[in-house]
Amino acid sequence: MTSKIHAKHILVKTEQEAFGILYDLKQGMDFDDIAKARSICPSGKKGGDLGWFGRNQMVKEFETAAFNLKPGELSKPVKTQFGYHIIKVLEIK
């Protein structure tokens, strides 16, 4: 069972904006650049990097999506009380 993951995310207000960002990422745009320009989370300044976290450290919807990704994969937009996230897992331990 995965105990910790290192992930980045981009947080935006609308699902439409999240799908637009996902499209841009799949076209090869840089995750860090988009996070710095568009994420409404303070982590955006660091390219969306959330560092390492374990279970029960993030809101449930975010955690479920993040722990179901493999390194390098992007999530579909994930709705939480904060908005819509695009999550990218970097490493798993």
Map residue 78 onto helix, strand or coil: strand
Taking the C-alpha atoms of residue 85 and residue 87, their distance in angstroms, rounded to an integer, is: 6
Number of domains in the chain: 1
Residue 56 has what pLDDT?
Answer: 95
Spatial contact of 4 and 93, defined as CB atoms under 8 Å apart: yes
For position 77, which CATH number holds?
3.10.50.40
For 17, phi then psi, to 5°, come to: -65, -40
Residue 1 has what pLDDT?
Answer: 61
Domain that holds residue 88: 4-92
> In terms of Cα–Cα distance, which of 25, 7, 19, 17 is closest to 64?
7
Q: What is the pLDDT along the chain (93 residues), one digit of tens a residue?
A: 668 999 999 999 999 999 999 999 999 999 999 999 999 999 999 999 999 999 999 999 999 999 999 999 999 999 999 999 999 999 999
Q: What is the pTM assigned to this prediction?
A: 0.96
For 56, phi then psi, to 5°, come to: 65, 20
